[in-house]
A and B are shown apart, each in its own frame.
Chain A
Amino acid sequence: MPEQPIADKFKISPFLVLYMIMSMQIGIGVLGYQRIIVAEAKNDAWISVLVAGFALQFILWMIYKINETVNGDIVTAHIYVAGNFVGKLLSSIFIIYYFILSLTVQRSYLEVIQVWMFPKMSIFWYTLAYMILCIYIIYGGFRTVVGIAFFGLVLPSYLFPIFGFSLSLGEVNHLLPIFEQSIKDILLGAYKMSLTFIGFEVVLFFYPFIKEPKKSKKWAHLGLLLTTLIYTCIMIITITYFSMDLLAKSIWASLSMWKIVNFPFVERFEYIGIATWSLVILPNICIALWISSRLMKRIFNLQQKKGVIFIAMATLFAINFFPTRVEVNLLNNLTAKAGFVFTFIYIPLLFIAVMIAKKVKKT
């Protein structure tokens, strides 16, 4: 079945890709990624972040190449490479992938709320409310989702300068000497960055919705670059602010850093930060749900409106099976591994496959 062309009124301007990528990438990982990277790369952890960021630029280039070659999204690419049935079978894996991703984000954020603010917060009711909000947004169509991505990035951006408070207590000696760790450790750190960095691959799924996709390329790369720089900055500030052994104990280093912030009108800034963060993760969950339901539509011809409700209900059901830190951690690790396999192994493989298929089909 040929893909139906997307009408122009549903398409988005190329520059909005930047917001899509950045708001999908910046999510729950930022609150506590430092500890995980530092465990591998010690004081050179910021180099790991840079390395991972630049490696991903290459992957992003592959993603665009794939999309351009088949002129469609990942389902088209799969069908192009492996035929209709296998192609759709492969694509349906990503329904589960994005379902798990939204589950991880939702549950990790709830954990933060429970630990930092309200220990009695009910998982079920909060998720229900959040899911209804997401369904409502997705019912507004793809353009609404992009709009949320825009606001989910712009409105909370005032949080970033707040990290400057920690600079005044920073100790540059913690960073030195640069390149103290072995290349292996730095690369291991870069590998551990996957959970924090994943999200830019959403281009694979909404490519047909971009007006003049060629023009969006530079915005996508710029978005990825900006995220990389933001992560590197936060990493450097964190390393100077904490000593290694203290950082190893801080599960949410970014939140711990906000504990030093003190304004005359607000005693504890992290409460504002955590509350604002619900806006940061909103596009995360919305985009993930949108992709899941969109894939359902493409593969099973299921109406997207029904698909969203199905996925949301599944999330609502599944989230109850992760009651404590141990399970949440397990879920996080699983998602990080899946994300790594998807971006660094699957996409290059798909890229090669598409290139071969293209050659074969030409001759």
Chain B
Amino acid sequence: MSYRSLCIAMVILFLSGCVDKSIIDDINIQSAVAIDQIEGDPEKIKGMILIQNYLPDQAVENIRFTSTGKIRRDLLLNIQKKSSQPIVVGGLMVTIFGDKISDYGIAEYVDVYMRESSVGTRNYLATSKSSAIGILAGEYGPRGNATYLRNLIEHNIEHRDVPKTNLHIFLRDYYSRGKDPYLPEINGVSKDEVEISGISLFKGDKEIDVLPKNKMFYFKLLVDNYSNGNFLVTLDKHKTAMVKSIKSKRKIKISKDHPNKVTFEIHINGVVTEYTGGKVTEKVSKEIEKELEKKVNDECMKLLTQFQEQQIDPIGIGLAYKANIRGTAKKGKNWIGEEYPTLSFDVKTKIDIRESGVIE
């Protein structure tokens, strides 16, 4: 009896496993997406989907599908009609939004990423300086465009000046009441070269400004709790030092007695990687430290006042404020309009130069 019921159980278990199959050789996995707005019509978008085709000799071929549509799904539908195999979204690495569309607002295009269960939240969103499709149209490296772009963003986050970002962080900030989102901006320099050209700052889902490259490091210092990156300091005409920060910490302090004063405490541990003035003595390194501290203070202050004027809060001061001052959350959304402009900032930087390379 029990043997027979076991048999029946097995048969039904295996039978009920018959759902839609997706065999990896028989599907096209979209790995990068670029979306542009067609000029003059905010309702119409043009998109490109990039599929990486892994060839037998380990090379990767970029296959591109372009189409127009009204919403992103529509786009995908039109593209499906061109593809010989079903296109699935599970392996998405990078999505690039064109300049016009990020000015117009990207929320409705991001919606699909929240709704669709098969999209991971570790993939990257980026904006582009000009046309997004233009970026995907190039050929970068032997491992395929999508992998190239993903690695470009990834290593710049881990070791260089791009603050931490991915789909989850964008969504979290977009739906946060105390922080505005930001995205890296990518620029296609030539047919086979791309660069990260700045940080797009958003108000809601609209891009309102782009931070230039040389301010990215300071922005990262302010945004991320821990970060590393490079910065250049000029002592005088002939003496320029390049300092690599290996470890930095940031704290936002708001005291309950003076809720209008926000103090940023930044602590950087760095090494001198290049110096044009000869020997790095203790005196010189003290000098570099001082000069750097001044520079970081100035640049960060500039950024903070700029954000304040633009009424955006990519750093998350609103969050810190809410966390330190009780009852802020209950006042609701108008924090940025009423209290944010009245805040005054102070940046206190401390820099420790640990080493100056293997020579003296």
A interface with B by C-beta (< 8 Å): 42-43, 115-122, 125-126, 128-129, 132-133, 135-136, 139, 169, 171-177, 180, 241-246, 249, 256, 259-260, 262, 267-268, 270
**Interface range, B side:** 35 or more
- A244 with B177: CB separation less than 8 A: yes
CB<8 Å pairs between A and B, sample of 30? A43-B329, A116-B117, A120-B20, A125-B16, A128-B16, A132-B5, A133-B9, A135-B5, A136-B5, A136-B9, A139-B5, A169-B164, A169-B169, A171-B319, A173-B178, A173-B323, A174-B319, A177-B324, A177-B326, A242-B172, A243-B173, A243-B175, A244-B177, A245-B177, A246-B172, A246-B174, A259-B122, A267-B91, A268-B120, A270-B117
Kindly list chain B residues whose C-beta atoms are within 8 Å of the C-beta of A136.
Answer: 2, 5-6, 9
Q: Measured between C-beta atoms, what is the minimum distance from A88 to chain B in Å?
A: 31
A268-B19 in contact (CB<8A): no
Chain A residue at minimum C-beta to C-beta distance from B15: A125
Residues in A neighbouring B172, C-beta threshold 8 A: 169, 171, 241-243, 246
A244 to B166, CA, bound (A): 18
Chain A residues, Cβ within 8 Å of B324: 176-177
CA distance A246 to B175 in the complex (A): 5
In the complex, whether B242 has a CB less than 8 A from a CB of chain A is no
B12 touches A243 (CB 8 A): no
Tell which of A116, A169, A174, A176 touches B168, judged by Cβ atoms closer than 8 Å. A169
Chain B residues with Cβ under 8 A from A128's Cβ?
12, 16
In the complex, chain B residues whose CB is within 8 Å of the CB of A241: 172
8 Å CB contact of B19 from A118, A139, A259? A118
Q: Given the complex of chains A and B, what is the CA–CA distance between A20 and B178 in angstroms?
A: 43
CB distance from B296 to the nearest CB of A (A): 23
- Residue among B91, B169, B329 having the largest count of chain A Cβ atoms under 10 Å: B329
Cα–Cα distance between A243 and B166 once the two chains are bound (Å): 15
Q: If the complex has contacts A173-B319, A243-B177, A268-B118, are A132 and B8 also in contact, measured as CB distance less than 8 A?
A: yes
Q: Is the CB of B9 within 8 A of A132?
A: yes
Which of A246, A260, A268 touches B176 (beta carbons < 8 Å)? A246
Interchain CA distance A180-B323 in the complex, whole Å:
9
Is B171 on the interface with A (CB-CB < 8 A)? yes
Bound-state CA distance A129–B16 (Å) is 7
Question: Is B316 in the interface zone, CB < 8 Å from A?
Answer: yes
Distance A270 CA – B122 CA, assembled complex (angstroms):
13
Given A256-B121, A262-B120 in contact, is the A120-B19 Cβ separation under 8 Å? yes
A245 close to B91 (CB less than 8 A): no
One of B121, B164, B316, B329 near A180 (C-beta < 8 A): B329
B323 proximity list for chain A (CB < 8 A): 172-177
Decide yes or no: A173 and B8 within 8 Å by CB, A125-B15, A129-B13, A245-B176 being known contacts.
Answer: no
Complex A-B, nearest 4 residue pairs according to Cβ-Cβ distance, in ascending order: A176-B323, A243-B176, A246-B175, A245-B175
A245 to B9, CA, bound (A): 44
Q: Smallest distance from the beta carbon of B102 to chain A beta carbons, Å?
A: 20
Q: Tell me how far the C-beta of A159 lies from the nearest C-beta in chain B, rounded to whole angstroms.
A: 17
Shortest Cβ gap from A214 to chain B (Å): 36
Interface string of B312-338 (1 = CB under 8 A from A): 000010011011101101000000000
CB of A122 within 8 A of CB of B16, answer yes
Are B319 and A260 closer than 8 Å at their CB atoms? Answer: no
- A262 is contacted by which of B122, B169, B175 (Cβ under 8 Å)? B122
User: A246 contacts which of B8, B9, B171 (Cβ < 8 Å)?
Assistant: B171
Q: Is B90 an interface residue (CB 8 A)?
A: yes
Say yes or no: A249 contacts B15, CB within 8 Å: no
Interface assignment of B77: CB less than 8 Å from any CB of chain A:
no
Contacts of B122 in A (CB 8 A): 259-260, 262
A250: nearest chain-B partner, CB-CB: B114
Contact residues in A for B19 (Cβ distance below 8 Å): 118, 120-121
Contacts of A243 in B (CB 8 A): 172-173, 175-177, 179
A122 — which chain B residues lie within 8 A by C-beta? 16
A260 near B9: Cβ-Cβ < 8 Å: no
Residue numbers in A under 8 Å from B329 (CB-CB): 42-43, 180
Bound CA span A202–B9, Å: 27
Taking CB atoms, residues of chain A closer than 8 Å to B9 are 129, 132-133, 136
Q: Which residue of chain B has its CB nearest to the CB of A133?
A: B9
**Complex CA–CA separation, A267 to B169 (angstroms):** 19
Q: Which of A129, A172, A246 contacts B12 (CB 8 A)?
A: A129
| Chain B residue with the shortest CB-CB distance to A113 | B19
